[in-house]
Amino acid sequence: MKKILYCLTLTLIVFSLGCKKYLNEKPDTKLEIPTSLTDFQALIDNVSIMNFGPSAGETSADNYYLTDADYASLSQDNYKREYTWQNDYLFSILGNNDWFNTYRPAFTSNTILQNLSLSNYSSASQSTYNNVKGEAYFTRAQAFFQAADLWAQAYDVNTAGSQLGIPLRLGTDFNEKSTRSTLEETYDQIISDIRSSIKLLPVTPAHVIRPSKPAAYALLARVYLAMRKYNEAGLYADSCLQIYNTLIDYNTLSTSAAYPFKQFNPEVIRENKTPVPMPLNNSRARIDTLLYSSYANNDLRKTLFFKSSTNGTFVFKGSYEGGSNLFSGIATDEIYLIRAECYARSGSITNAMKDLNNLLINRFKTGTFTPLTAANSSSALSIILAERRKELLMRGLRWMDIKRLNKDGANITLKRRVNGQTYTLQPNDLRYALPIPEDIIQITGMEQNPR
């Protein structure tokens, strides 16, 4: 298995960078190519590759801020540039950056899909074959969606056919030139992959590190939410919750624990993590003051999600990873909020508030929660979106939300103040599509995101 992983990693480096010197290297005949279902399942189960979320969206979003001293302590200049929404050089060059780590699971998935037909398996192994194939489709879709969230503009049905999308690498030939699809083609591919996975995945996975049918429904709901296709988002959120809808009663958790939530807790539908980059380390990242103050005193999230830092500030401790890594997977609380939002947008106020209250009664101290009400759809939507931000902070979703909500006219303007200078990101700014790493542009000749 180590030989297989080494082979894939080496090939991916060539695939990602297009470095010509590798073409002249004599292949190592000892390297193994995966051919069996066992090999493919082992590749899928490599969580350090396949269950990985990029950090740049959360680093760029507005859930936190850095003091001048903490900003100065960032030893890598690209993080300073990322924090202040600079036009270029936001990612380390030829390194272990978000681009490499986002496309790596897509490449591994391509390897599996391309070679599955060559594997020998009996009819008794059909379910394993279907599961592996479904997991590969799911993981590629998730990788492409994460890439689109970072390196493409918010989806707009009126312009998606002409806007820049991402490179859709669907094979393993690193000699194939990378080109950018349109945004419409990007999302069509993502949706196609998820729909393919739904047909193949089991209802209950062997473990939540693996995708499942409810996870695929949930991912499709998230994708349609990003596209602002709210009817479809609500339908697929409902499909997920019809299968799995467990919520944790936060009263059962310890508010004094360093990390109150267990990894793989009962709300997790599919595990995915984001290793914490320098700006988001809880020794630096201070939670936005207005966001923290928006939690009611009886709201257990106020003590389970945060701990006090210096000078009356607060830092985040509420990751569903059970430690310092950030959870970027799929959990039932997010899906309840998607369905609630879509109900509100469709005018189904009673159902919208029922979903929201079902979530919140599990977040407040026992006996202190008064169900929320809304007089109209607009009021319901406002309440639900406020709770969405409070519930899902530091999960890699805020950047997507800002982009889509600004397309809906939310007029969210981001501001940072560093050493007396104010940096501003206006609604629908071109910088919401982050710059593709400059070395990738130089090597591939792809078009860079405009500024």
Output the tens digit of pLDDT for each of the chain's 451 residues.
Answer: 444 444 454 444 444 444 433 333 333 434 467 878 999 999 999 999 999 999 999 999 999 999 999 999 999 999 999 999 999 999 998 668 999 999 999 999 999 999 997 777 777 689 999 999 999 999 999 999 999 999 999 999 999 999 999 999 999 988 889 999 999 999 999 999 999 999 999 999 999 999 999 999 999 999 999 999 999 999 999 999 999 999 999 999 999 999 999 999 999 999 999 999 999 999 999 999 999 999 999 999 999 999 999 889 999 999 999 999 999 999 999 999 999 999 999 999 999 999 999 999 999 999 999 999 999 999 999 999 999 999 999 999 999 999 999 999 999 999 999 999 999 999 999 999 999 999 999 999 999 999 9
Q: 228: left (phi > 0), else alpha (psi -120 to 50), else beta?
A: left
Query: Is 230:342 a contact under the CB 8 Å cutoff?
Result: yes
Helix or strand run (H / E) with residue 180: strand 180-182
> Where do the structural domains in the chain lie, given as residue ranges?
2-444
Q: What one-character DSSP code corresponds to residue 84? A: T
**Residue 20 contacts by C-beta under 8 Å, 6 or more apart in sequence?**
none
Q: For residue 264, which of 224, 323, 214 has the smallest C-alpha distance?
A: 323
Backbone angles phi, psi at 297, to 5 degrees: -65, -30
Residue-wise pLDDT tens digits, 288-335 = 999 999 999 999 999 999 999 988 999 999 999 999 999 999 999 999
**Are residues 411 and 424 in contact, defined by beta-carbon separation less than 8 angstroms?**
no
Helices (H) and strands (E) in the chain, counts: 18, 12
Would you give the DSSP letter of residue 109? H
Provide the pairing of β-strand 164-167 with 180-182.
Answer: antiparallel
Q: What is the CATH number of domain 2-444?
A: 1.25.40.390
Q: Which of 206, 37, 212, 33 is nearest to 125 (CA)?
A: 37
Q: What separation, in Å, do the N-terminal and C-terminal C-alpha atoms of the chain show?
A: 44
Residue 421, token pair as written in the block: 């200078």
SS (H, E, C) 265-308: CCCEEECCEECCCHHHCCCCCEECHHHHHCCCCCECHHHHCEEE
Could you give phi then psi for residue 421, rounded to 5 degrees? -105, 135
**Spatial distance between the Cα atoms of 372 and 294, rounded to a whole number of angstroms:** 15
* Residues in CB range of 178: below 8 A, 6 or more apart: 18, 167, 169, 440, 444, 446
Residue where the block lists tokens 């990007």: 186
